[in-house]
């Protein structure tokens, strides 16, 4: 969304105006967003032993599976309640209950993440009531079988499909008491695509997981009995208090790097919510696994109420009134740090400052003295070495030596590449928090993000960018609720040198004959999207090198001389 007080560019007639309802926009030709349940399914894939279930038509699940598989290059199962014409008229109660039975038998999940689609939301399905009825039915069936649902079960990824209940109009009559599988936890999130984006669906699912499970006992959240043996295998109890980290919609490579980054501060164990570093970017299998290993365990989710602190990433998300982090803060008193995505020197310095506050010993003068006098002794005792750095505001930072070296190399590369980047212009598009983080990072490098576009309509993007990078005020255009048609109308006047965003912008980049630096979601036309790293000083270094080399390659390709030295 363009701010009339800040932007030097005239707003086109198709601009989103305050008089329009932000949740129900008019049609668009090619929006900078994807459907809301997609983000919810991605979040659920980061929870150990979880199967996403879409309450709606089968086409929704097929579309989302196709997008996720093409991006992550991993097999992904998404269940569906398979609405038909009669379901749309009479309601999807039978479909939901039958789908939950089928998922339980075939996958033996610890948790089923239920996301609604446009159809079920338009119908007005009362999901809490339907889920409550299913829990009650499960309790009655367990009582008839003389079991609490914790009987012998198959191991993860088992292929036995006996007793599968087919979808049928008379499914009520064939649903009989079963004791061969355990009733999973059920977490519901409302995700209508007509009033949200894939990023908003992701954050809504994370919030629903935390609100449903954080602080609950080791037993069931409902009347379904104690945990089963398989649940115990997938959900290792966490007695110690941990740092909770909500990274947002980032790549599996970034999730792995965040663990390493925090480990450098002595945070050997953290709880990432969600954590799809292995479930969506795992090694090759000797045999097919229906339920990939990895993910945040259900016990880690339950223990979030005892977290020592919570860090939540996202420049725009930081102004949202209700998130997973705010829930922990308000209900359990967990200290909350709301930060932008750690892309660039400034954002990573803020991340390090938060970790310093979380680790009191980092700021202790005795630590600096010990490092100076006898660093070897600290290494022998397994303690990290720390050194001092000064951020852009003049604040002194105490950084682990390895992290300080990464920061120093990044700053050095800024100097090395300044002659290539000064005066360059970029268009950035994608999810709110990602484009805000990249825009703030570009401001450090000499590149001006002349247009920052997002498909979301939360009216927080411009304020988030200008708060983090005030030097961009009056110099850039910020658009919410944007689509590629809108971006295309601005390109001729803005004349960018490169585009930064998902592969959906490739046609625009090709029409301009400018490079496209791919990041965000989706990336369908390149291999390795799940390994694109942006976070931390090291991730920023990779992004910076890709941007500089893309510009150099374009200059080289367009040169009549074809010189090999730049």
Give CATH for domain 422-532: 3.40.50.1980
User: What confidence category does residue 388 fall into, taking pLDDT thresholds of 50, 70 and 90?
Assistant: confident
pLDDT at 363: 35
User: What confidence category does residue 193 fall into, taking pLDDT thresholds of 50, 70 and 90?
Assistant: confident
CATH class of 36-339: alpha beta
Sheet arrangement for strand 50-55: 79-80, 50-55, 111-116, 185-189
pLDDT at 218: 54
Sequence ranges of the domains in the chain: 36-339, 349-408, 422-532
pLDDT at 144: 67
- Torsion, Cα of 160, 163, 164, 170 (10° steps): 180
Whole-model pTM?
A: 0.84
* Helices first, then strands: H and E counts in the chain: 21, 15
- Residue range 363-371: mean pLDDT, rounded: 37
pLDDT at 31: 82
pLDDT tens digits for range 235-258: 444 556 789 999 999 999 999 999
- DSSP symbol at 191: -
Of 76-80, 119-123, 219-223, 264-268, the poorest mean pLDDT is in 219-223
DSSP string, 390-451: E-TTS-EEEEEHHHHHHHHHHHHHHHHHHHHHTT-EEEEEESHHHHHHHHHHHHHHT-EEEE
The domains spanning 36-339 and 422-532 adopt the same CATH topology: yes
pLDDT at 13: 35
Asked if residue 2 has pLDDT above 50, the reply is no
Asked if residue 92 has pLDDT above 90, the reply is no
| β pairing state of 243-246 and 270-272 | parallel
pLDDT at 28: 62
pLDDT tens digits for range 389-403: 777 777 788 899 899
pLDDT tens digits for range 300-329: 999 999 999 999 999 999 999 999 999 999
477: closest CA among 454, 444, 511?
454
Bond into 274 cis (ω within 30): yes
For 479, the token pair is: 């658009």
Judge whether 50 and 75 are in contact, CB under 8 Å: no
Q: How far apart are CA 307 and CA 351, in angstroms?
A: 18
For 62, the token pair is: 């097929």
As a whole-number percent, the residues of the chain with pLDDT over 90 amount to 60
For 27, the token pair is: 């049609």
> 129 in the Ramachandran plot: left (φ > 0), alpha (ψ -120 to 50) or beta?
alpha
Asked if residue 216 has pLDDT above 50, the reply is yes
- DSSP symbol at 296: B
Which DSSP helix (H) or strand (E) runs through 243?
A: strand 243-246
């Amino acid at each position: 969304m363009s701010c009339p007080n800040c932007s030097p560019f005239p707003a086109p007639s198709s601009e989103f105006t305050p008089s329009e309802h932000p949740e129900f926009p008019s049609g668009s030709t090619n929006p900078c967003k994807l459907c809301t349940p997609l983000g919810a399914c991605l979040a659920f894939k980061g929870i150990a032993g979880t199967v996403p279930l879409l309450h709606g038509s089968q086409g929704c699940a097929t579309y989302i599976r196709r997008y996720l598989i093409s991006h992550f290059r991993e097999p992904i199962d998404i269940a569906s309640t398979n609405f038909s014409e009669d379901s749309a008229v009479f309601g999807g109660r039978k479909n939901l209950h039958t789908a939950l039975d089928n998922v339980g038998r075939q996958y033996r999940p610890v948790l089923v993440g239920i996301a609604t689609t446009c159809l079920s939301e338009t119908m007005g399905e009362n999901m809490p009531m339907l889920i409550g009825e299913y829990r009650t039915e499960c309790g009655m069936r367990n009582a008839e079988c003389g079991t609490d649902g914790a009987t012998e079960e198959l191991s993860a990824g088992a292929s036995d499909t006996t007793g599968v209940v087919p979808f049928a109009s008379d499914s009520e009559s064939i649903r009989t008491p079963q004791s061969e599988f355990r009733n999973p936890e059920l977490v519901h999130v409302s995700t209508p695509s007509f009033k949200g984006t894939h990023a908003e669906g992701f954050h809504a699912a994370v919030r629903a997981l935390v609100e449903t499970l954080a602080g609950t006992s080791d037993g069931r959240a409902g009347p379904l009995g104690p945990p089963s043996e398989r649940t115990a295998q997938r959900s290792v109890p966490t007695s110690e208090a941990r740092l909770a980290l909500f990274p947002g919609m980032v790549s599996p490579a970034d999730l792995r790097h965040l663990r390493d980054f925090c480990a450098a501060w002595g945070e050997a164990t953290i709880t990432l919510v969600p954590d799809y570093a292995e479930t969506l970017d795992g090694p090759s299998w000797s045999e097919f696994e229906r339920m990939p290993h990895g993910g945040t365990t259900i016990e880690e989710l339950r223990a979030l109420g005892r977290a020592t602190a919570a860090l939540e990433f996202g420049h725009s998300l930081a102004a949202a009134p209700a998130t997973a982090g705010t829930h922990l803060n308000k209900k359990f008193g967990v200290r909350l740090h709301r930060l932008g995505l750690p892309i660039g020197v400034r954002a990573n310095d803020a991340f390090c400052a938060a970790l310093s506050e979380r680790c009191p010993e980092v700021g202790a003068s005795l630590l600096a003295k010990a490092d100076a006098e006898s660093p070897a002794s600290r290494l022998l005792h397994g303690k990290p070495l720390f050194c001092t750095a000064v951020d852009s505001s003049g604040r002194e930072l105490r950084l682990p030596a390895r992290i300080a070296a990464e920061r120093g190399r990044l700053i050095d590369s800024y100097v090395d590449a300044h002659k290539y980047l000064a005066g360059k212009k970029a268009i950035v598009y994608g999810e709110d928090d990602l484009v805000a983080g990249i825009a703030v990072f570009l401001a450090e490098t000499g590149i001006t993000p002349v247009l920052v576009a997002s498909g979301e309509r939360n009216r927080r993007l411009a304020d988030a960018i200008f708060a983090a990078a005030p030097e961009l005020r009056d110099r850039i255009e910020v658009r919410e609720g944007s689509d590629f048609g809108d971006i295309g109308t601005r390109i001729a006047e803005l004349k960018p040198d490169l585009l930064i965003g998902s592969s959906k912008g490739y046609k625009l980049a090709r029409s301009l004959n400018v490079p496209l630096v791919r990041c965000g979601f989706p990336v369908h036309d390149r291999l390795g999207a799940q390994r694109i790293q942006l976070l931390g000083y090291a991730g920023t270094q990779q992004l910076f090198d890709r941007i500089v080399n893309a510009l150099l390659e374009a200059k080289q390709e367009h040169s009549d001389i074809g010189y090999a030295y730049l």
